[in-house]
Amino acid sequence: MKLLIKSATIVDQQSDYHLKQADIFIKDGIIIKIGSSIKEKADKEINIQGLHVSQGWFDTSVSFGEPGYEERETIENGLKTAAFSGFTDVVLNAHSNPTIDNSSAIHSIKAKAQGNAVNLLPTGALTVKTESVDLAELYDMGNAGAVSFADYKKPVSNPNLLKIALQYAQNFDGLVQSFPLEKKIAGKGIVNEHHNSTLLGLKGIPNLAEDLQIARDLYLLEYTGGKLHIPTISTEKSVALIKEAKKKGLDVTCSVAIHNLILTDDLLSEFDTRAKVLPPLRTKKDTKALIKGLKEGTIDFVTSDHDPIDIENKKVEFDNASYGSIGLESAFGALHTIFSTEETIEILTRGRSRFKAENIKIAEKETAKLSFFLPEVKYTFEKSDILSTSQNSIFLGQQLKGKAIGIFNNNQLIIAE
């Protein structure tokens, strides 16, 4: 395939063409030439006013449902959604039925994603059936292609189990994840514990439930060594704890869900279950600390935390609704409301090596792994913007800035024109 991209602004801090407008000629998945007024004949030409191009975007936490919850999202439609949302690489959570807790399940997931424009990087369950009782087949899953090990949205309740996991995973350079929630402190809470939870009569989850679990996990990491990733933090204290751990030289990374960066628990006033997420939406004080932590590098990744939930489990009474929101389609536009274009792209492309993904700059003779976007488009996020099977977007009705329109990856073009 020969592809010619005309007059695109390149946003790639690793590239010599950063912030320059240029033509890009690609042949058989390789960037052959970058320059002005390229005249090569191509099978396909892209010429879109205001087009920007960057390295392919990376998401550390997506869920699709399959196997077992295909009514929420299939792998095929999930990867298509990721492509049109600008993502070339996504890390898939072990959030299915049966859960992905053995090497056969990893092989099956990878086979279903094979040949796709988007690279799917599977996470294996940390414990059997994510029940936090026995460790899953970590070594075998790692050999099969699992890039990390986590029980999605479930904390490791037994500290000795996490200790053993961190020690064992060092034998094969495995990355262990631990969800930051102390369930006994959280109790029956379902939203952030603050004045809004009191006003609305909803049981609260205090910041302490997250902070205490993170403090525990960091003590364990200091004792065992190894590699730890803490997904989707949400509190001011969490940022401080992880910052201090990094100063000590501990091998720890963390992420934040985009909705926890931007939205607060004020959104709960309408009892809209789309705003029921875990960790819960916190306060403005927390969002400010999270944004600062992301800018200074304490927080390593943002994630859409894309989690499709069917209507039967979402459009019910608030207490009974499942946690979760889709987020791939709104990720760029939401993030771009608080960061500049350069900052947004740097955040969306950072840290691939942590999850064994390739980092490829935009340069001649390099493999083309590109995301296409229009940064200046301002719009209200509506149902028509949703590509996922499920419609549970926390950003419905929100004002966004910038829109992803596709990718080029694995010698395949996916673009909305």
The Cα 177–Cα 229 span in angstroms is 5
Residue of 114, 101, 90, 91 lying closest to 68 (CA atoms)? 101
Three-class SS state of 289: helix
**CB atoms inside a 10 Å sphere around CB 67:** 17
CA 370 to chain CA mean position, Å: 18
CB neighbours of 366 closer than 8 A, spacing ≥ 6?
30, 31, 360
The Cα 229–Cα 212 span in angstroms is 16
Catalytic pick from 305, 307, 319, 385?
305
CB neighbours of 207 closer than 8 A, spacing ≥ 6?
192, 193, 235, 236, 237, 282, 286
305 part of the active site: yes
Strand-pair partners of 89: 58, 119
The Cα 52–Cα 24 span in angstroms is 12
Environment class of 176 (CB within 10 Å of its CB; exposed 0-12, middle 13-18, buried 19+): buried
Largest distance between two CA atoms of the chain: 65
CB neighbours of 55 closer than 8 A, spacing ≥ 6?
12, 14, 345, 349, 359, 360, 361, 362, 369, 370, 371
- Residue 59 in tokens: 């998401």
The strand pair at 252-257 and 301-303 is best described as parallel
Environment class of 125 (CB within 10 Å of its CB; exposed 0-12, middle 13-18, buried 19+): buried
User: What DSSP designation does 388 have?
Assistant: S
Three-class SS state of 143: helix
Task: Give me the phi and psi of 145, to 5 degrees please.
Answer: 125, 5
Give the residue numbers marked as catalytic.
Answer: 305
